[in-house]
Structure 1
């Protein structure tokens, strides 16, 4: 897999950023998280006057072979039906993108359907659905590499169009299962704590999901034990970073791996990444196992209502902007958080400082 050349932002400007924020006409710290966001964005962009340009929400869609095991109430055809719905407008992500000035980019990463041309959907299809990882890897390593490359290319295109802040969304029946597997593998958190209701499973459905995913993990470990040269992950420990690509290919979805590639490329280009809910947080986690510097460019949009998301955010040391009990996906929480990010940038650029307006510094 091609290594991303992500540059860690220099800390030299940090002191000047904090000084500028502290001397705005307000008590120090009184604008709370806006001040932290402004400092982070200034650090990412290496400027005392950051700006946001042409926000995009890139939505990758694909199907997952694991749904053959009944891990979701959402039938496979919902993926292509919803992708078509997005292309016509009227879905949740459509009104949010319209409201907040985002361009919505739709990408077929691996939908099990022949999407008609002329719908404005970018064709990056790797294959019609991943394989069933209960029995075999979801994708080959070559497919995984190709998904990373194609996700990166989509981001490069929006960057060349003038975008410097991007969020990612997803559509794919079964992708909360795959995200739970990545979370378990990369954090060591027990699988039972990584699994939630997804699209609406009841308690028996969640128990079935846990059973299927536990067997999938056990099958993987059994294969590693037969491979005497392999590294065998121990219970309660995350897999070594050297196994990151193997885990991505074994349990991932094409849309998830494309998002990983997109995140890595966005960081390489110095873009701000707004991280959405459970699935996209699992993707930034996977991306960080390939290159930890990607997290320097991430702003976490919200804490979702999917079980496990809070634990995943804690594992990353993330401080999300919103907590609205969302679990829609599609990039919805990230786009909802954008106005707060915009306010932080407006604060540092548009507020006066004490000296310029002759107000006594009163704290």
Structure 2
């Protein structure tokens, strides 16, 4: 990899000072619940008593998977490129929520099986980061070569550097890729050692017979490629281009000291890979929601994370991060703008 991803631990020395500022606001101690914990986390990430969320972005990484042609999804592979067009035209859920909360949206083609080569001229939000026209089918071969995996990671890092240089300090990640819950389940199993059946869910709507077949096929994939221990070998064998690119984005965002909004199951699987490369990445992450996709709750437990929301969402696209953003903004706003007992002339508890 071109990037070394040197991540500085979050400064804990400022934590007591930020907590004191929170405690002297005009409210009983702890009365704002998780908002107080979020404010403390953002303040520590930014090493600042007056943190700001500047030019927040959601980046949706899209890529196709060779395994999609093995009968593990009720949707055909071409839905990936059709949904990318929907994103670019502004019609998807993430577009609605990004507009509502004034989040800048970027759509990155990391490996969709479709030619978007001229789309950057028509759609400024589009980024061409294509490695190939979809991964290989890991039922037979590793999803990508090590070189492709490293290039995807570097692409994600470079995109984060671009938006950071333009003033962004807060970013969330989403994804689109038919069959990417299969990759996520395999990554989860290998990085956490949770039994594979506990990692495999319905994805885009499989019933129990379909889930059973999906689990069986993924088990066969595991048997073909074991043993795997090195993080990059795991990622290149079973990942998607969108997941590998997101892995690099997680690592670079943390290395630049950005606030990272973690979405659902797929994004969390990329974070597993990033965590295996450098565990300090977690210090910069805010876990936005608990996905209804099977496996995500155990994934959150692995991270020792308490998500802010549980709305039974499982769409991906970064929608959980987008819906959660205004709560994070509220946390920062109360820390910065709410009066203290002294400044408001209000008597404190005895």
TM-score range, shorter chain: over 0.9
Instruction: Write the deviation string for residues 85-138 of structure 1: whole angstroms up to 9, x where unpaired.
Output: 110111111000000010110111000111151342211100000001111110
Query: How far 1:260 moved relative to its partner?
Result: 0.6
1:274-353 alignment, distance < 5 Å: 274-353=261-340
Out of 115, 122, 137, the position equivalent to 2:142 is: 137
Distance 2:9 2:138 in 1: 35
1:12 corresponds to which residue?
Answer: 13
1:104 and 2:91 are equivalent in the alignment: no
1:259 corresponds to which residue?
Answer: 246
2:212 corresponds to which residue?
Answer: 207
2:342 corresponds to which residue?
Answer: 355
Is 1:276–1:300's contact at 8 Å kept on the other side of the alignment? yes
Is 2:66–2:143's contact at 8 Å kept on the other side of the alignment? yes
Distance 2:349 2:27 in 1: 8
Distance 1:362 1:208 in 2: 61
Aligned pairs, number: 345
- Do the aligned partners of residues 186 and 154 (structure 1) sit closer, same or farther apart at CA in structure 2, a change above 3 Å counting? same
Instruction: Write the deviation string for residues 231-263 of structure 1: whole angstroms up to 9, x where unpaired.
Output: x6xxxxxx4xxx111100010000001001011
Is 1:84–1:119's contact at 8 Å kept on the other side of the alignment? no
2:55 corresponds to which residue?
Answer: 54
1:185 and 2:176 are equivalent in the alignment: no
Is 1:178–1:251's contact at 8 Å kept on the other side of the alignment? yes
Instruction: Write the deviation string for residues 34-91 of structure 1: whole angstroms up to 9, x where unpaired.
Output: 0000000000000011011111000110000111211111211111111011101111
Distance 2:127 2:344 in 1: 51
Is 2:59–2:105's contact at 8 Å kept on the other side of the alignment? yes
- Do the aligned partners of residues 27 and 160 (structure 1) sit closer, same or farther apart at CA in structure 2, a change above 3 Å counting? same
Is 1:63–1:130's contact at 8 Å kept on the other side of the alignment? yes
Q: TM-score, normalised by structure 1?
A: 0.93
Is 2:117–2:128's contact at 8 Å kept on the other side of the alignment? no
Out of 121, 130, 137, the position equivalent to 1:125 is: 130
1:148 and 2:153 are equivalent in the alignment: yes
Out of 219, 235, 243, the position equivalent to 1:248 is: 235
Instruction: Write the deviation string for residues 208-243 of structure 1: whole angstroms up to 9, x where unpaired.
Output: 10001001111112xx4xxxxxxx6xxxxxx4xxx1
Distance 1:273 1:128 in 2: 29
Unpaired segments ≥5 residues, structure 1:
225-231, 233-238
2:200 corresponds to which residue?
Answer: 195
Q: TM-score, normalised by structure 2?
A: 0.97
Unpaired segments ≥5 residues, structure 2:
none
Is 2:60–2:318's contact at 8 Å kept on the other side of the alignment? yes
